Amino acid sequence: MRIAVLKESRPGETRVAATPDTVKTLIKSGASIAVETGAGALAHFPDSAYESAGATVSARDAILSNGEVVLCVRRPDAETLERLPAKAVLAGLLEPHGDKEFAETCAKAGVNALALEFTPRITRAQSIDALSSQSNLAGYRAVIEAAYLYGRAFPMMMTAAGTIAAAKAFVMGAGVAGLQAIATARRLGAIVTATDVRPAAKEQVASLGAKFVAVEDEEFKAAETAGGYAKEMSDEYKARQAELVAAHIAKQDVVVTTALIPGRPAPRLITQAMIEAMKPGSVIIDIAAANGGNTELTKPDEIVEHKGVRIAGFTNLPARLGADASQLLAKNLVNLMPLLRTEEGALGVQWDDDIIKGMALTRDGSVVHPSYES
């Protein structure tokens, strides 16, 4: 199987879809690997490290014409898709939610596109789940960014010169990113509270030593889908949640928001009025910024200051940990490979496997993902 690794082109993207380590693993499994020149540079993996691992490193033209499986972090542009060989398998974070046009472009180009975002949430697929591997790092990095922006210390410090109070941190959305944010803020010494609409989150928050704050009514008890994601809540629930949050948030120093509903705009959890009730110097890191943001004032990739409160809308926190994020994403892709090859090591997509069925946007020139059926 011939695998090609693309250099990412989005501004600010530092990640790469294969590392020298995963190249070694893939070669051991019988694949040949071609890496685009400079693909790993921003994640601190130089071309020479890929060559030492056994890959060939070449310019984009050679890469595109030769890949049976093409690995990327973010979706390539239409021109790149058209230059891929017919029946090439494209795997990466393809931002597929609700974007039938992208799927149609892949189909037209004869590319079989597999979106990591649609990895089913079943135990067997956990090692392929790139949303989790990347969200975990985003949660960690969000707290590091918050600690940097917040002009005070996180832990309580009792010194001869007086006592510094511990920072109060509130994490909204206790999924993969939120739980890591809680753990990181706790490690730094903050007093942490957290909220979520899924009841399963309550125990997980408590197990990390944080206090759970939520409207726990009948709707809350049924708010998790079979796939493990949150449902969109009713307007009544949202109003009660907002009331609770408004009172709580006014006492916080640091807020990390991570709330997402797959395929929908991020829920607006923090209003301008709530921000105005916060203390000057407080910081909000909105991990949901790329999906519209959890606050009314979030602007993608900007740090907005409003009445002394700063709201940071980083849209790609994993890229701020390029080497680690690449390592985990590349490992997710290695774990996908057995589903793309025959026992002899040739290209052979296992179309009947539930993981592939979940991820496939296109197959042999047609759009096949059920989410695009109208």
As annotated, the active-site residues are 121, 126, 129, 132, 229
Alpha carbons 222 and 219: distance in angstroms, whole number: 5
Nearer to ligand NAD, 146 or 172 (CB): 172
Q: Say if strands 157-159 and 162-164 run parallel, antiparallel, or are unpaired.
A: antiparallel
Q: Decide whether 195 or 332 has the Cβ nearer to ligand NAD.
A: 195
CB atoms within 10 A of CB 293: 26
| Residues 13, 5: Cα–Cα separation, whole Å | 15
Stretch that binds ligand NAD, among 47-55, 229-237, 246-254, 308-316 (CB under 6 A): 229-237
x/- track of binding to ligand NAD for residues 83-102 (CB under 6 A): --------------------
Contact predicate 29/50, CB 8 Å: no
Our CB check for ligand NAD shows the closer of 30 and 265 to be 265
Encoded tokens for 252: 């916080």
Considering only residues 41-80, where is the footprint of ligand NAD by CB under 6 A? Answer: none
Give the torsion sign (CA, 346, 349, 350, 353): positive
We find the least distance from the C-beta atom of residue 282 to ligand NAD, in angstroms, to be 19
Closest CA to 170 of 216, 211, 230, 207: 211
Contact between 121 and ligand NAD per CB under 6 A: yes
C-beta nearest to ligand NAD: residue: 175
Q: Which tokens go with 217?
A: 């009514």
Burial 224-263 (b: 16+ CB within 10 A, else e): beeeeebeebeeebbebbbeebeebbeebbbbbbbbbbee
The residues in 183-202 that bind ligand NAD, with binding defined as CB under 6 A, are 195-198, 200-201
Q: Is 212 in the site for ligand NAD (CB under 6 A)?
A: no
Q: What is the total residue count of the chain?
A: 374
The residue within the footprint of ligand NAD, chosen from 40, 67, 173, 358 (CB under 6 A), is 173
Of these, 20, 92, 96, 175, which contacts ligand NAD (CB under 6 A)? 175
> What is residue 347's DSSP assignment?
B
Rounded to a whole number of angstroms, the minimum distance from the CB of residue 374 to ligand NAD is 24
State the DSSP string of 243-260.
HHHHHHHTT-SEEEE---
Q: What are phi and psi of 338, to 5 degrees?
A: -55, -25
User: Least distance from C-beta 190 to ligand NAD, angstroms?
Assistant: 19
Cα dist. 225→82, 155, 260 in Å?
Answer: 37, 37, 13
Tell the burial category of 266 from Cβ atoms under 10 Å away from its Cβ (0-12, 13-18, 19+).
buried
Please say which residue, 202 or 363, places its beta carbon nearer to ligand NAD: 202
CB of 173 to ligand NAD, least distance (A): 3
Of the candidate residues 233, 255, 329, 339, the single one contacting ligand NAD (CB under 6 A): 233
Q: How far is the CB of 269 from ligand NAD (least distance, A)?
A: 6
Cα–Cα distance, 253 to 284 (Å, whole number)? 8
Indicate whether 172 belongs to the interface with ligand NAD (CB under 6 A).
yes
Q: In terms of CB distance, is 42 or 138 closer to ligand NAD?
A: 138
Distance between start and end Cα atoms, the chain: 36
Is residue 171 close enough to count as binding ligand NAD by CB under 6 A?
A: no
State which of residues 135, 326, 327, 362 lies at the interface with ligand NAD (CB under 6 A).
135
| Binding residues for ligand NAD restricted to 250-309, rule: CB under 6 A | 258-262, 267, 269
Please report, as ranges, the residues that interact with ligand NAD according to CB under 6 A.
121-122, 126, 129, 131-132, 135, 172-178, 195-198, 200-201, 228-230, 233, 258-262, 267, 269
